[in-house]
Structure 1
C-alpha cells in the first residue's frame, strides 16, 4: 500500500474479474466513500477509487474474483509481486484466506465492502505506525562502558538509564576491543585502570583504527593528576572524567556529542526504552 495515497486519504482499488454489474456496484461503493468524507470537511475517513485496468500495478488494494480462474491467476500474480499490497478474495463459497489475505462472500459484497475496506486501511495504518515506532527505537545511540569494577558499572548503568541509549558493558580492554570489531558504538566510556591492558593502551588502539577513530572515547579515572589527563590526551581520548562520575557531567558529555537530542526523539515517540 502506497504512503502517498495514504497521505491524501485516498486509496485506489484494482479489480480482477467480476461481472459488469458487480463492477458498477463496487464503483458505487467507492463513490459513496468519497461522498461520506465530503459530508464532514474535517473527516479523516478513507476514500476509495477504482483504478483503470492498465494501472493495477500501482493500486493500494487488490479485489479479486475468487470464482474466476483467470482473474484469480492474474490477481494473485500481481499480489506475489507486491506482497505488501492487501488482497481481498470475493467468492460464493465460504473462503479460506491465506495469511495476509482478506475474504468476502459474494452475496455480501454490496453490504460489507465499504466496512471491509475501512478495516483493511485501519489495520495497515496500525502496522505502519508500529514500524515507525520500531524505526525510532532502532535509531537510539549505542554506548560501551569498559570498567572492571562492578560498583562503577552499576553506577554508570543507573546514570545512563535516564537516557534511552543502548548500553553494553565490558570488564576488560580485550573484551572491549573485540566488541568494537563486532558492533558499532556512538560513544565509549573507558576506565584507565584495567586488568592486563590498561585504558591508555586500549584507547590508543581504538584511535589507531580508522573505522573507530571518530568515536568519542571518554576516559574514567579516580586520579585527578594533570599527568593522567595529559597521558589521556596523548593517546587520543576525547574527554577525561574523574570517579565517582557525576550524572550531570555525563549529561553534558552526551549533549556535546548530540546524544541527548537522539534520546529526546526516542522518548517522545511513546516507546519505552528497552
Structure 2
C-alpha cells in the first residue's frame, strides 16, 4: 500500500484518481488547491504526490518547487497529472523538480505503475 496525495481542483478528476488508486489497495489523501496540498504534504508526508498544474492559490509548479526547497520533503516523489501537454509544460514540470509527468487523459494502469515504482524507489 502506498499513501498517495492526489491534488486537482476538478472534483471529478479527484474522484477518478481516488477510485482507481483505492481499487489497487492504496491509501488516498485529497487536496483541491496548491496551498492545501502543501499543508497536507507537510502534515501527512505522503509517499507520492499526484499534482495538477493549473490550480487556484498555488499552481502545481509552485507546489513542486516548495516541496523541493524543503529539506524534510525534498525526497517526496511528485508526478504531474495535467492536461497541459506541450513540451514547454513538460520541461517546466521537470525543471521544477517532478519525477514524472503524465498527461490527461491518463491510463490508470500507467499511473499506478508509476506510483508504485516511485514509492518503491523511495523506500
TM-score, normalization by structure 1? 0.42
Q: CA deviation at 1:185?
A: 0.8
Structure 1: runs of 5 or more not aligned: 1-139, 260-274
- Choose which of 104, 121, 145 in structure 1 pairs with 2:6: 145
Residue 218 of structure 1 aligns to a residue in which SS? strand
Q: Which has the higher contact order (CA 8 A, sep 6+)?
A: 2
Shift of 1:159: 1.2
Match of 1:236 in 2: 97
CA contact (8 A) 2:52 2:60 kept: yes
- SS of the residue corresponding to residue 251 of structure 1 reads helix
> Contact 2:47–2:119 (CA<8 Å) still a contact in 1?
no
For residue 258 of structure 1, report the CA deviation from its aligned partner.
Answer: 4.7
Give the alignment of 1:218-229 within 5 angstroms: 218-229=79-90
Instruction: Find the structure with the greater CA-based Rg.
Output: 1
Deviations 1:104-155 (A, max 9, x none): xxxxxxxxxxxxxxxxxxxxxxxxxxxxxxxxxxxx4311001000110011
Give the superposition deviation at 1:157.
1.2
Paired residue secondary structure (2:102) = strand
TM-score after normalising by structure 2: 0.91
The gaps in structure 2 that reach 5 residues or longer are: none
Mapped pair 1:247 → 2:87: no
| CA-CA distance at 1:196 after TM superposition | 2.0
Alignment of 1:120-159 (within 5 A): 140-159=1-20
Displaced runs of 4 or more, over 4 A: none
RMSD: 1.3
Alignment length, in residue pairs?
Answer: 120
